[in-house]
Structures are given as C-alpha cells and as structure tokens.
Amino acid sequence: MPAPILPLIEAASRWPERGALVGLDLGTKTIGVAVSDPDRRLATGVETIQRKAFKADAARLLAISSERKVVGFVLGLPINMDGSEGPRAQSTRAFARNLANLTDLPIGLWDERLSTAAVERELIGMDVSRARRAEVIDTHAAIFILQGALDRLATLRRSGQ
C-alpha cells in the first residue's frame, strides 16, 4: 500500500512521537535534501542530488532515509502567491505519488512559497559568491523548508493541538 501523502499537520499525526524527518526541495535539475534530529528541533543539510531518472533519485532518497533512520518525508509544495497550484506544484505532487509507491513512510506537504528567494537573499547578505550560491541553494532551501515545518509542529505541540 502506498504511503499517505497529506498536508504537514495531518502527516505529523502519522509519524511516531520521535524520529528524524527528511526535508526535500524539488527542483527541475536537483533535489535539495535536509534531515532533522530525532527530536525534530533542527534541520541540517545533507546533500544536493543531481536529478537523473526518478528511480535513481528515489533510490538515493530511500538510502538516505534508511541511513538516517527517518520516520517521514516533508516535501516543499511550491504554491503560487495567490494560493493556486501551478505546474511545479503538480510536478511535486506527482513525485510524491511515485515516491509513496516505494515507501511506507508518510509524506507531508509543506507550503514552500518564497523559500528559495529567502535563502538567496540570506546567502547574498552573507556575501556568498554567485557560483557558491548555485552550489548550495537547493540544500539550503531544503533546510529552510524542513525548519519551517519543524517550527510549525513545535508551535502546535506547545499549544496542545
């Protein structure tokens, strides 16, 4: 049976209390990958996967999830500023469906509006060269996405929801 693909809050109810999560920033050429600690407090960059074919990309993601003993995935869902979903969001949903057929780990979708732009501004502010920004932007976007999701889940836990 395929893994469930749900909005973040609903996916969180399917994850155990503790356990690392993998955060993904899906680009057309690369996939930025970040992983949380088991207590889900801090997101750390792992790598940027150069996209090849889905099977190869998925095999690397599943290897990372196994190595890091993760309990779920958080995929950045690129929603348009007006709240609609365009081609990139549909592509992300298709990727999630295909990945769900290969794992039983619940997949949470998290609104990633402006994540890459925010990371780009931060890297420019740190005076990172254009070439270096190109190398690290996807992993940093994955960190941004996963940390945003972790912070949201922590807020919900504190408020008892």
Pair of tokens at residue 88: 């990139």
- pTM, two decimals, is 0.88
Task: Report the mean per-residue pLDDT for the chain.
Answer: 88
CATH architecture label of 3-158: 2-Layer Sandwich (3.30)
End-to-end CA, the chain: 29
Measured CA angle at 86 (ends 131, 98), to 5 deg: 85
Question: What confidence score (pLDDT) does residue 11 get?
Answer: 96
Q: Which of 59-63, 106-110, 121-125, 151-155 has the lowest mean pLDDT?
A: 121-125
Instruction: Assess whether pLDDT exceeds 90 at residue 144.
Output: no
Confidence at 96, pLDDT banded by 50, 70, 90 = very high
Enumerate the β-bridge partners of residue 45.
34
Taken as a whole, the chain contains a residue count of: 161
- Identify the residue whose tokens are 């940390």: 147
Enumerate the β-bridge partners of residue 26.
31
